[in-house]
Amino acid sequence: MAFLADALSRVKPSATIAVSQKARELKAKGRDVIGLGAGEPDFDTPDNIKAAAIDAINRGETKYTPVSGIPELRKAIAEKFKRENGLTYAPEQTIVGTGGKQILFNAFMATLNAGDEVVIPTPYWVSYPEMVSLCGGTPVFVATTQENKFKLKAEDLDKAITPKTKWFIFNSPSNPSGAAYSYDELKALTDVLVKHPHVWVLTDDMYEHLTYGNFKFVTPVEVEPSLYDRTLTMNGVSKAYAMTGWRIGYAAGPLQLIKAMDMIQGQQTSGATSIAQWAAVEALNGTQDFIPENKKIFEGRRDLVVSMLNQAKGIECPSPEGAFYVYPSCKGLIGKTAPTGKLIESDEDFVSELLESEGVAVVHGSAFGLGPNFRISYATSEAQLEEACKRIQRFCAACK
């Protein structure tokens, strides 16, 4: 009898975590490495949020919390959805998890049976298909194209849905592409979903507040209210509030699903950290003035990276509407020989040789289900980004 579970054979390690770890290891050995693999803002958590956590400690808010979250945070979440998205949820229709990953995992664990299919557009966040597989479901991938700005076409979604489809995962703005759907683009998808009443929608809105220019964010139920009873709307404080290490994600949805997720979480981790929850209350209820300031900085970084990458030989980089990633194509380098003498046969070869030759750590596109591309996180200083892009230009010029 094997010791390890069969489910492990269906799961791959997180490529984004692996790249960040590799960069840390090389730095520890004295290499000059610029890590552009982590999806983590370089901004510090705002002072008012840190102060709220300190106040919570001083008040003695250090005990176990209710499984689904402290009442104050669940109320703040319901008010956030009403205020920002026009969605009405009672606090008991919300749930708090230890990061967005736990929210997603618990939703799948509570609903998926063997043979259930989950439609996932590519490129996708690396954890989606692995979570589905761990929970016994079957990922069904639907490709997008760079020509269509990595956005799913309605007809392709319609073709992917079968009687076995349980969920459709929707992520806008997208990790890894930064693609964000306008009202009309999302309406085309929700029109398809209305035709298939057995399909549930899991919308990952984690990058909601990070859109650029005049782009206006919308979420599926906001566009099509008839999907309310079969949509789980997930969000968190990690990205917009620079609170990645606080590990707070949240969601709202039908009460039956929330109760099922509560039961899973009750046997798994129970409630999220008390102090982090009180910090999240302040994040949602307190001043939001720093968000547009940070957005402006991110937008400037995006424009710098897109411009410099499009000057690199063999690279083509579209300009995304949101998040803090670009997803350039390295198709022009496939078949070339790297400075080390190695033939570049894939995007994985490209990022490996880039790290070896120039000390720039990025993530290969095949890890996100669509290549030959690579993902760069521009959630770091302009100086670092400019130096990294110069190194990428130099590497590409040296490939023959």
Statement: residue 120 has pLDDT above 80:
yes
Alpha-carbon span 63 to 200, nearest angstrom: 35
Q: What is the DSSP string of 224-245?
A: -GGGGGGEEEEEESTTTTT-GG
Quick check: bond before 41 cis, omega within 30?
Answer: no
Burial of 390 (0-12, 13-18, 19+ CB in 10 A): middle
User: Which range, of 8-12, 259-263, 298-302, averages the lowest pLDDT?
Assistant: 8-12
Please tell me the predicted confidence (pLDDT) of residue 238: 97
Confidence of residue 96 (pLDDT cuts 50, 70, 90): very high
Please tell me the predicted confidence (pLDDT) of residue 1: 84
Confidence of residue 29 (pLDDT cuts 50, 70, 90): confident
Would you call 137 helix, strand, or coil by DSSP? coil
Give the helix, strand, coil percentages of the chain, each rounded to 5: 45, 15, 40
Alpha-carbon span 37 to 47, nearest angstrom: 27
Alpha-carbon span 35 to 24, nearest angstrom: 8
Confidence of residue 26 (pLDDT cuts 50, 70, 90): confident
CA 37 to chain centre: 13
Q: Tokens for 112?
A: 């998926």
pLDDT tens digits for range 36-66: 988 899 999 999 999 999 999 999 999 999 9
How many CB atoms are closer than 10 A to CB 33? 20
Statement: residue 10 has pLDDT above 90:
no
Phi, psi of 284 (to 5 degrees): -75, -35
Read off the amino acid at residue 320: P
Please tell me the predicted confidence (pLDDT) of residue 253: 98
Average pLDDT, the chain: 96
Please tell me the predicted confidence (pLDDT) of residue 243: 98
Please tell me the predicted confidence (pLDDT) of residue 66: 98
pTM, to two decimals = 0.95
Alpha-carbon span 352 to 359, nearest angstrom: 10
Statement: residue 13 has pLDDT above 80:
no
Alpha-carbon span 234 to 249, nearest angstrom: 8
Per DSSP, helices labelled H in 286-346 are 290-309
Statement: residue 24 has pLDDT above 90:
no
Alpha-carbon span 373 to 162, nearest angstrom: 29
How many CB atoms are closer than 10 A to CB 299? 17
Q: What is the mean pLDDT of residues 285-312?
A: 98
